[in-house]
Structure 1
């Protein structure tokens, strides 16, 4: 699809993050099973539930705005998911793997935070309904909270346990 207008770009970016959320949701159960830190495993499980809600919010957004998503695959998320698979293949289960999983998950969160921040700015520029924009803001807040939670897990012992293993 040619992106000639801000609306075209917005639809592309929204379609991209929709794909990213779906890919992330597929990867999260594997990460939860691999984590040995109970707080980390729980974070992945809870984020899976949030991801389903975020996908649902995008569906609500399109209903409210009448915009149609494009079928596409988010290649950035595809790469991040592939990177997490490599981590699982290369690192033995334990604290070092947990630290690597935190790093991989935070890369995903930062990508999603950037995506939703951009979408919110564009949605405002396009004059989309405040109710629709608020759906994007809810998801952005969840992504930021997930990132902060991952940082907390790392700082409260996740990375120290990995350092002791070295």
Structure 2
């Protein structure tokens, strides 16, 4: 199904499709994070990734809650964007031999994922409000706040330590 296919006729259809998109993305992220934890050498980066893994499990649960609240069965649709972001991250991580540089690359990859998630959750919050679903918006806002917080932590870690060590 293309973004503007005949299957998406209403704003509600678009909302549900985007829920399905981020549901798929969160599932892929759940599979990618343990690999990123294993590759990271920074103890703080490992801890941050591990914390976000736990948060991501909660994000999936919240999405399932929103599907239920909206009267739709949870279902994932392939998200080529997250597939591309994760594929690129895997390629770059495979090409980096220096552990310090690898940590910087992992942070950059994680932030690309976070930014994608922030766009999706921000859009979903807005659409939920527009569709008269403040209950759904409230649940989605929790995840949006966590994604923003994860991005800010990664920025702080990169700028305060990881990038400097990678540049040595």
TM tier relative to shorter chain: over 0.9
Q: State the distance in 1 between where 2:166 and 2:110 align.
A: 16
Moved over 3 A (4+): 68-71
1:2-38 CA-partner distances (Å, limit 9, x unpaired): 2111011111111000000000110000001101111
5+ unaligned residues in a row in structure 2: which ranges? 2-6
TM-score, structure 1 as length reference: 0.94
Work out whether 1:116 is the aligned partner of 2:121: yes
Contact 1:34 1:93 in 2 (8 A): no
Q: Which residue of 1 aligns with 2:160?
A: 156
Is 2:122 aligned against 1:132?
no
CA RMSD of aligned residues (A): 1.1
The counterpart of 2:151, out of the listed 141, 147, 152, is 147
Deviation at 1:69, TM superposition (A): 4.2
Distance in 2 separating the partners of 1:71 and 1:102: 26
* Deviation, structure 1 residue 94: 0.8
**Structure 1 gap segments, 5+ residues each:** none
Once the two structures are superposed, residues 78-123 of structure 1 have per-residue CA deviations (whole angstroms, 9 ceiling, x without a partner) of 1111111102210015110000111110000000000000001110
How far did 1:71 drift? Answer: 3.7
* 3-state SS of paired residue (1:148): helix
TM-score for the superposition, normalised by structure 2: 0.93
Q: 1:66 aligns with which of 71, 78, 82?
A: 71
Alignment-derived partner of residue 103 in structure 2: 98
Spell out, residue by residue over 1:18-72, the C-alpha distance to the aligned partner (whole angstroms, 9 max, x if none).
0000001100000011011111111111111000000000111111221234441
After superposition, residues 33-48 of structure 1 pair within 5 angstroms as: 33-48=38-53
Contact 2:126/2:137 (CA < 8 Å) preserved in 1? no
